[in-house]
Amino acid sequence: PRWIVTDREDGKNVGNWHWEEKNMFPWSRERLRELKGVAGSVEGFEGAFSGGFEVSNVTKIAGDVVIHQRKGKLWPLCDLVVEVSYKGTMSKEGQAPVDIRGEIVFGDVNVDDRDCLEVEVTVHGTGPEIDAFRRWIRKGGAQPVITKVQEAAGVTKSAADAAQHDLEEAKKKAQEEAAKMAQVNKVVLPTPATPQDEAARPTGTLRIEEEFAARADDVYDCFTVANKAATYTRSPDTLLEARPGGRLSFYSGHVTGGFEDMHPPEFIKMKMRMADWADGVFSSVRIVVHELGAREGCKLELSQDGIPANRVADVERQWRERF
């Protein structure tokens, strides 16, 4: 979480790192506009009537279609109102056809109930042919239009399912690659240093404090949930075994270490090192997250001790630029 949201004039939640959603409404709107031209017909209805209709205009598409993502899970939300107008004819056997017009309204189009949509069909006028058309279209004559609307809602669900599958496959692959790298860059706890070693190896310390317009548990997750950390660090092979004694690895083993103590969502203690440090050299990292109050976000305090003295500035830069 390298951006402080409150520092931006527009207050934008950069990267949507604690909640992300993809707006699918423009795509759904274009698909629903294809309702224009959808038609239905009937021959010998009630033994005497024949006719049909065609959607002449899509008069209203309103609502929300989004795919939400949080903590590696995707789910769609579709809440739409769709209205179309149609023109048609109906004729009684041996008589001239009668012109007909009306509307079909879908008041609540959603993903979960797409197979049993609420449909309101209006037919203007009265007369034997119009009344017969009204009975036919309400008994099932509007099915071509209903099917098209159901398909549009269903594709939103399919898109979310496909994206979820891709996300899980990418996570699985990243975990497999991280496991391979962990065997090469196996994390070991540092061996106790002798006084002579300590004297010969000067170390440094850094302190970082940042405030975030987010809850403490969201910030805590960014250091303990692998897929979230992989997103904001752009390290797809991130490995986080978030438990005391568990390993951690970023950037194909360039940063490795292990968790020593954890108290969600407030405290994390870790051992960390970079691959180009001397063998056995680990730093100690403590992260404390404080809630600042309702709707005020939280404050993160990071301290890191035992950094090789000539690498302190580089480590701080890595935290600020990558994390």
Would you say residue 302 has pLDDT above 60? yes
Question: What mean pLDDT is predicted for residues 206-234?
Answer: 89
CA atoms within 13 A on the CB side of 255: 22
Q: State pLDDT tens for residues 141-159.
A: 999 999 999 888 877 666 6
Q: Is 253:185 a contact under the CB 8 Å cutoff?
A: yes
| pLDDT at residue 14, as a whole number | 41
Q: Across the chain, what does the average pLDDT equal?
A: 82
| pLDDT at residue 187, as a whole number | 46
The CA distance from 227 to 175, in Å, is 10
The CA distance from 319 to 285, in Å, is 12
Please give the C-alpha separations between residue 213 and each of 216, 225, 234, in angstroms, as whole numbers. Answer: 9, 19, 21
Pairing mode, if any, of strands 283-293 and 267-274?
antiparallel
Q: Say what angle helices 226-233 and 216-224 make with each other, to 10 degrees.
A: 90
Q: State pLDDT tens for residues 166-202.
A: 656 666 776 676 665 555 445 444 444 454 454 457 8
The CA distance from 127 to 261, in Å, is 80
Q: Where are the alpha helices (DSSP H) in the chain?
A: 25-32, 128-136, 143-184, 195-200, 216-224, 226-233, 312-322
| pLDDT at residue 70, as a whole number | 62
| pLDDT at residue 152, as a whole number | 83
Tokens of 191: 């061996």
| pLDDT at residue 170, as a whole number | 63
Q: Is 322 exposed, middle or buried (0-12, 13-18, 19+ CB in 10 A)?
A: middle
| pLDDT at residue 75, as a whole number | 66
From the list 95, 78, 73, 70, the residue with the least C-alpha distance to 27 is 78
pLDDT band at 66 (very low <50, low <70, confident <90, very high): confident
Question: What mean pLDDT is predicted for residues 253-274?
Answer: 93
Q: Is 284:304 a contact under the CB 8 Å cutoff?
A: yes
The CA distance from 40 to 37, in Å, is 10
Would you say residue 234 has pLDDT above 70? yes
pLDDT winner (highest mean) among 31-35, 131-135, 181-185, 315-319:
131-135
